[in-house]
Chain A
Amino acid sequence: MKTIKQMEKIACVIRQDIIKMLEKAGSGHSAGSLGMADVFTALYFSGVVKHNPKKPNWSERDRIVLSNAHICPVQYAVLARAGYFPLKKLSTLRKLGSSLQGHPHKDSLAGIEASGGPIGHNTSVAVGMAYSFKMDGKRNQVYCLVGDGGQDEGQVWEANMFAAKHKLDNLTFIMDRNNIQIDGYTEDVMPLEPLRAKYEAFNWHVIDVNGHSIKAIVDAIEQAKAIYEKPVMILAHTIPGKGVNFMEWEYSWHGRTPKEQEARDALRQLRTLGGKIKSEDE
């Protein structure tokens, strides 16, 4: 369990890990991975979510499932920093024989709850887990990270209806609302707004949050646990590429990686980031 200040520092290190991993890998997704560094840090380091790096299959653990599986570099970096596997593994991302597959593969790596790839598929898997825990009267929480572009997928709304029907209040979705997807801005590709109203109409409880304020994120996760009779959607408003000025808001960085010089520049920015990304009321 870390303090907000400690977590802000960890998130900055995570961002550097991501840049190094992606530069070495030569392919992968930069913008979303950087943008979700604060949310992932909050999930794994705040102590609110139950997990144990020494016992990854601990039966009492909460489940963290990635539905926007392409941002797995951030999860890999956080898992390594949390102690699930040695840091040196991070440099093997996407390489032959690596347990850090291009999209997460459950049986390859401790801490991965479900293999993923196609956008939106794992929303249903997370809902199934939450339903299963309810059936058994267990108290495990299920967290599912979803992308905003992923809301284009019809399956997501099938899953949303099911979760609301069964009042799965042990289920929290956290959306990376960064407004970009591969071909452009979400509102140009396929308008999503009003997202909050959509989820409310589907009988979900919705919390809007600044996705770069670790304190606000932790508060929202705590609040979500206290909501009864409804699944919770935390709309985490994030900046794609957050922390690297030439990546921020640039949808072209959704699916590309930094070249050597760009990586050097990005790392220099991140090293001097200091407390620039912080919770306002700290």
Chain B
Amino acid sequence: MNKLEKKLKMVPTRNGYGEGLVELGKNNKDIVVLCADISDSTKSGMFRDAYPDRFIQTGIAEQNMMGLAVGLALTGKIPFVSTYAVFCPGLNWSQIRVNVCQNNANVKITGAHAGISVGPDGMSHQALEDMAIMRCLPGMVVLAPCDAIETKKATIAAAKYNGPVYLRFAREATPVFTTEKTPFKIGQANVLKNGSDVTIIACGPLVYKALLAAEKLKDISVRVINNHTIKPLDEKTILKAAKETGAIVTVEEHQVIGGLGSAVAEYLSKNKPVPIEMIGVQDRWGESGDPDELIEKFGMGVDSIIKAVKKVINKKI
């Protein structure tokens, strides 16, 4: 991991997806990419330009797109399905449930422009429920990588994994704070910073904000975990953190109902109950605005994380 330098490169995670696809396409002829009329913004256009014969333009038809992907997977391809998360899985959840999951089809589902930071487009376009509706599907892997480099790795790892995978990406350019050498393994969380008083478990670009919060909390020893795999949850690392630090703050750009916070709470309440605070959208709709303003207004900024850490520590028994 790079140090928390002020001048980190700013790249949207979705760019890592495009780069990952292009790299995958080079060596594996079975990789195909589908997109529903937004190939430039999803960055699937990078694959289209490199391998036009293996790019499938579906038009604005997300339900059909998912079914097509399943047909391709059942005949030996490894399809990546690309559009905005509000449409996929937002519009085609039944196709994912029955056609992808109940066939255990090798389909990679991606939701771009996830989270409130999609900004000015407003509440209809801010996917804050996608991890919840994907996490509850048996057999589905759910990934929320933290920066562009990790997204590229996650894309490549998803292709190597045999079975349904969901990956979520963000629209905005966010700090690239991992390196090519940072390990990435599906189902294995990365402890970015060790600490003994409290653990912040975060996913997606907000992991960086968790690191900034931990750095500012000089008097408190904060452990920070990049929990890029929401399902299957890295229970070992989370249990260890709960045992050793005794308090947890979860951080995600998603409704607090059903996402990372819920996954952690479900597990720990059964195995090691400790006080938990959840940073995320608190069961309400988003609104138009500048991405940074929205992150602050909806309580997912550095100051909110710091407050949550202090609060959860006070609840420690």
Instruction: State A281–B43 Cα separation when bound (angstroms).
Output: 59
Cβ 8 A contact of B74, one of A125, A135, A159 = A125
In the complex, A130 Cα to B68 Cα: how many Å? Answer: 9
Q: Which of B39-72 contact A (CB under 8 A)?
A: 53-54, 56, 58-59, 61, 63-72
Give every chain B residue within 8 A of A116 (Cβ-Cβ). Answer: 98
Interface size on B, residues (CB 8 A): 28
Residue among A105, A114, A162 making CB contact with B61, cutoff 8 Å: A162
Q: Evaluate contact between A128 and B103: CB separation under 8 angstroms.
A: no
A257 proximal to B (CB < 8 A): no
Q: Which residues of B contact A133 (CB under 8 A)?
A: 75
Q: Which of B53, B70, B71 has the most CB of A within 10 A?
A: B71
A131 touches B68 (CB 8 A): yes
The answer on a CB contact under 8 Å between A125 and B67 is yes
Asked whether A191 is an interface residue with its Cβ less than 8 Å from the other chain, the reply is no
Is the C-beta of A113 less than 8 angstroms from some C-beta in chain B?
Answer: yes
- Count of residues in A whose CB is under 8 Å from the partner chain: 29
Which of B53, B59, B70, B102 is A161 in contact with, Cβ under 8 Å?
A: B59
The interface residues of chain A, by DSSP majority, are classed as helix
- CB-CB nearest in chain B for A154: B63
Q: How far is the CB of A99 from chain B (nearest CB, A)?
A: 14
Q: Is B304 an interface residue (CB 8 A)?
A: no
CA distance A44 to B93 in the complex (A): 33
Structural contact, A124 and B95, CB atoms closer than 8 A = yes
Are A107 and B104 touching (Cβ within 8 A)?
A: yes
**Interface mask (B135-178 → A, CB under 8 Å = 1, otherwise 0):** 00000000000000000000000000000000000000000000
> A34 near B: Cβ within 8 Å?
no
**A107-B104, A158-B63, A161-B61 given; A124·B68 CB < 8 A:** yes
What's the nearest-Cβ distance from chain A to residue B55, in Å? 11
B188 interfacial contact with A, CB 8 Å: no
Known: A129-B74, A162-B58. A118 touches B67 (CB 8 A): no
Are B70 and A128 interface neighbours, CB within 8 A?
yes
Q: Which of A79-126 contact B (CB under 8 A)?
A: 105-107, 113-118, 121-126
- A124 B98 Cβ-Cβ under 8 A: no
